[in-house]
Amino acid sequence: MLQAAPSSPPHARLPAPLQAPSFAQPIAASAAPQAIALLADAQAIALLADARASLDRDIGLARLYLDRLSALLTHGQYPPSHDSLLVPERSPQPSSAAHGLAVRGGLAGWQKRRVIEHIERYLETSLLTDDLAAIARLSNGHFSRAFKISMGETPHSFIIRCRIRRAQMLMLETSDTLSQIACACGLTDQAHLTRLFRRVVGTTPMIWRRAWRQPE
Per-residue pLDDT tens over the stretch 137-164? 999 999 999 999 999 999 999 999 999 9
pLDDT in tens, 1-59: 444 444 444 443 333 333 333 333 343 444 444 544 554 566 677 667 777 777 776 67
- Residues 163-185, mean pLDDT to the nearest whole number: 95
Residue 8 inside a domain? The answer is no
Q: Are residues 39 and 174 in contact, defined by beta-carbon separation less than 8 angstroms? A: no
Q: Are residues 102 and 161 in contact, defined by beta-carbon separation less than 8 angstroms? A: no
CATH number at residue 204: 1.10.10.60
Q: Which helix (H) or strand (E) holds 197?
A: helix 190-201
Using the Cα atoms of residue 45, residue 80, residue 70 and residue 36 in order, give the sign of their dihedral: negative
Q: Which helix (H) or strand (E) holds 172?
A: helix 155-173
pTM over 0.85: no
Same domain for 167 and 101, yes or no, is yes
In whole angstroms, give the CA distance from residue 25 to residue 58: 27
Q: Are residues 77 and 27 in contact, defined by beta-carbon separation less than 8 angstroms? A: yes
Q: What is the pLDDT of residue 29?
A: 42
In whole angstroms, give the CA distance from residue 18 to residue 215: 16
- Residue 85: pLDDT band (50, 70, 90) is confident
Same domain for 98 and 64, yes or no, is no
Same domain for 133 and 175, yes or no, is yes
Residue 1 inside a domain? The answer is no
In whole angstroms, give the CA distance from residue 172 to residue 181: 11
Residue 112 inside a domain? The answer is yes
Domain count, the chain: 2
Residue 7 inside a domain? The answer is no
Q: What is the pLDDT of residue 49?
A: 77
Residue 141 inside a domain? The answer is yes
Same domain for 56 and 106, yes or no, is no
* Per-residue exposure over 153-180, b if at least 16 CB sit within 10 Å of its own CB, e if not: bebeebbbbbbbbbbbbbbbeeeeebee
Same domain for 47 and 151, yes or no, is no
Residue 109 inside a domain? The answer is yes
Nearest by Cα to 105 from 144, 133, 66 = 144
Same domain for 139 and 45, yes or no, is no
Same domain for 141 and 203, yes or no, is yes
Give the residue numbers spanning the domain of 183.
86-216
